[in-house]
Amino acid sequence: MRPPLESIAAHLGALMTRRGLRLATAESCTGGWVAKVITDLPGSSLWFDRGFVTYSNAAKEEMLGVCPETLKVHGAVSEPTVREMVAGALARSQAQVAVAISGIAGPGGGSQDKPVGTVWFGWALPEGPISTLCRRLDGDREAVRIQSVRVALEGLLERLPADG
């Protein structure tokens, strides 16, 4: 049985607090769900700085500094876009750690190249380059979104050294 999202977030919060780090989120298809799971936890203000919900391309450009050319050439659901989203979240916050999510939750909006369930993730940490991942998630809109929240949180835990 997989741990509930709240448990993953609590583990992440303990690790972030021990390391003295703050987190920013840049969310599109999840609509702020990662930030919600985090801020449901008492004491999350110690380690959560802010969340950007950038559902539209205009919001990605205005709030995170995503280049219009990136969106035009690669689309919102792409590795270059999540790289710019996560970099923008760091640049426009007091955080040292960030996660970005952009995907197609459905039921419509998919294509042959990017079917429903295609979700790109980006993570930025104090040490090392931005890392990205594309997942093809199954299920309806809610299932894709909840799986995306899980991948984002688990990805942070995987990338943050516990002993740092």
Per-residue pLDDT tens over the stretch 80-125: 999 999 999 999 999 999 999 999 999 999 999 999 999 999 999 9
SS3 70: helix
Contact (Cβ atoms closer than 8 angstroms) between residue 100 and residue 122? yes
Domains in the chain, CATH or no CATH each = 5-159 (3.90.950.20)
Q: What is the mean pLDDT of residues 141-148?
A: 98
